[in-house]
Amino acid sequence: MISLNLDQLAGMQQEVLDTLTTAENSWGEFMTLADAEHPWTGWFDAPRKNGFNEGKFIQSWAKEVDVHYDCVVVCGIGGSFAGTKAVDDALYPKLTHNTPTKPIYYAGNHLCERSLIELLDHLQDKYPLINVVSKSGTTTEPALAFRALLDYIERKFPDEIAQRVVVTTDVEKGDLCGFVEQQGCKSFVIPSNIGGRFSVLSAVGLVPLCLAGYEVSHLLTGADQLYTSLRAADSAAEAHPVWLHAAARHTAWSKGIRIDALAYTTPKLDAFVAWWKQLFGESEGKQDKGLFPAGLAYTTDLHSMGQYLQQGWPAILETFMTFNHSGSISPGGIERRLKIPAPKAAQDKFARLVGRNMEDINSVAMESAYMAHASRGIPCLKLEIDGSLNLHTLGYMFAYFQCVCTLTARLAGLNPFDQPGVEDYKKNMFRLLEV
**Can you give the binding site for ligand PA5, defined by CB under 6 A?**
77-80, 134-136, 139, 142, 195-197, 282, 419
Q: List phi, psi (to 5°) of 233.
A: -65, 145
Q: How far is the CB of 25 from ligand PA5 (least distance, A)?
A: 27
410/19 Cα distance (integer angstroms) = 13
Shortest distance (Å) from residue 392 CB to ligand PA5: 24
- Choose between 413 and 420: whose C-beta lies nearer to ligand PA5: 420
Q: Which residues are CB-neighbours of 281 under 8 A, at least 6 positions away?
A: 290, 292, 293
Cα 262 from Cα 293, distance rounded (Å): 8
Q: How far is the CB of 200 from ligand PA5 (least distance, A)?
A: 10
Q: How far is the CB of 421 from ligand PA5 (least distance, A)?
A: 12
Q: How many residues does the chain have?
A: 435
Alpha-carbon torsion angle 95, 96, 101, 103, nearest 10: 50
How open is the CA angle 221-390-406, to the nearest 5 degrees? 60
User: How far is residue 207's CA from residue 212's CA, in Å, rounded to a whole number?
Assistant: 9
Cβ proximity to ligand PA5: between 197 and 240 the closer is 197
Does the annotation mark 94 as catalytic? no
Instruction: Output the smallest distance, CB 174 to ligand PA5, in A.
Output: 8
Residue 388 has phi, psi (to 5 degrees) of -100, 175
| Catalytic residue of the set 97, 303, 344, 349 | 303
Shortest Cβ distance from residue 142 to ligand PA5 (Å)?
A: 6
Active site residue 63: no
Any idea what DSSP says for residue 327? Answer: P
| Alpha-carbon distances of 7 from 14, 17, 252, 295, 391, rounded to whole Å | 11, 12, 14, 22, 30
Query: Catalytic: 426?
Result: yes
Which lies closer to ligand PA5 via its Cβ, residue 163 or residue 419?
A: 419
Q: Strands 334-336 and 328-330: what pairing?
A: antiparallel
User: Is the CB of residue 131 less than 8 Å from the CB of residue 98?
Assistant: no
Of all helices (H) and strands (E), which one includes residue 213? Answer: none
**Min dist. Cβ of residue 347 to ligand PA5 (A):** 50
**Rounded distance between C-alpha atoms, residue 6 and residue 408, angstroms:** 17
| Nearer of residues 313 and 425 to ligand PA5, judged by Cβ | 425
Cβ–Cβ < 8 Å for 386, 396: no
Which of 24, 54, 282, 318 is flagged as catalytic? 282
Q: Which residues are known to be catalytic?
A: 282, 303, 426
